[in-house]
Amino acid sequence: TGLCKGSVPEVVKPVEVAAAPSSGRTEAGAWGSDFDPSAFISEHLALKGDSSKFDAMEIPELRKLCIGQGLKSVVLSHLMSVRQDKEVQEADAKVVELEKTVSTLQSRHDKEEARLKKEIDYLKKEKEADANKRKKDKEDSLAELQMKHDAAVDLLNKQHAEDVALLGKAKANLTRLRNACIVALCQQARDAALTSEDVKDLEDENAALKEEMADKYVDG
């Protein structure tokens, strides 16, 4: 397909064929006697313009024109092939660029996913550690409160026992005091009775003495 610009194609001269000896009759042409090339071109090839101008051209000129059109077709085919190759290269470059972009995005996605996974794992561990710490602190607080409660209950029980013992002692003392008071009252009542009898005896003796003294005074 490599053609140099400005090169003129070599014109191939037609080969002259010796006329066959006339046999006294007219032979039909290769296309038949009723074939009209101009009508065929106008009807089937749909050429634009007037095709009658080609009728006056010599065969070498027609061959040269045909070769020129062939060269144009080859050049156009070459240009089209180059254009297609360029478009294919551009498409390949775009595909490579897209693949690089996809690879870059995939790498970023993988890195981001790994980072997020690492961060999530770290947060999970931190959450678990915090939950365990809170649980341990709660258990320690409950244990401390239980110890304080047990100590307070023991202290209250001890104080209650001491109070019960003191109340028992106080009750015993009060009982003894009551008994002593009862005994003292009984003794005082008995002493009072004895004293009353003594007083009566003394009064009787005093009355007797008064009568005796009165008698002596009267006699005297």
- Per-residue pLDDT tens over the stretch 152-184: 999 999 999 999 999 999 999 999 999 999 998
Mean pLDDT for all residues in the chain: 78
Residue 15 — very low, low, confident or very high, per pLDDT cuts 50/70/90? very low
Q: How far, in Å, CA of 124 to CA of 12, rounded?
A: 90
Q: How far, in Å, CA of 51 to CA of 65, rounded?
A: 14
pLDDT on residue 121: 94
pLDDT on residue 33: 64
Amino acid at 220: G
Residue 220 clears pLDDT 70, i.e. is over it: no
Q: Is the overall model pTM greater than 0.85, yes or no? A: no
Residue 112 — very low, low, confident or very high, per pLDDT cuts 50/70/90? very high
Residue 28 clears pLDDT 60, i.e. is over it: no
pLDDT on residue 145: 93
Q: How far, in Å, CA of 206 to CA of 198, rounded?
A: 12
Residues in the chain: 220
Q: How far, in Å, CA of 204 to CA of 214, rounded?
A: 15
pLDDT on residue 64: 81
The tokens for 113 are 């996913």
Q: What is the pLDDT of residues 116-146, one digit of tens each?
A: 999 999 999 999 999 999 999 999 999 999 9
Task: List Cβ neighbours of 54 (8 Å cut-off, separation of 6 or more).
Answer: 62
Task: List Cβ neighbours of 65 (8 Å cut-off, separation of 6 or more).
Answer: 57
pLDDT on residue 122: 93
pLDDT on residue 39: 63
Q: Pinpoint the alpha helices (H) of the chain.
A: 37-40, 59-219
The tokens for 159 are 């104080």
Residue 46 clears pLDDT 50, i.e. is over it: no
pLDDT on residue 198: 82
Q: How far, in Å, CA of 92 to CA of 80, rounded?
A: 18
First vs last C-alpha separation in the chain: 205
Q: Domain ranges in the chain? A: 56-172
pLDDT on residue 142: 93
Q: How far, in Å, CA of 56 to CA of 75, rounded?
A: 28
Task: List Cβ neighbours of 1 (8 Å cut-off, separation of 6 or more).
Answer: 74, 77, 78, 81
The mean per-residue pLDDT over the stretch 90-96 comes to 93
14 in Cβ contact with 60 (< 8 Å): yes
Q: How far, in Å, CA of 111 to CA of 105, rounded?
A: 10
Question: Quick one: what percent of the chain has pLDDT higher than 70?
Answer: 75
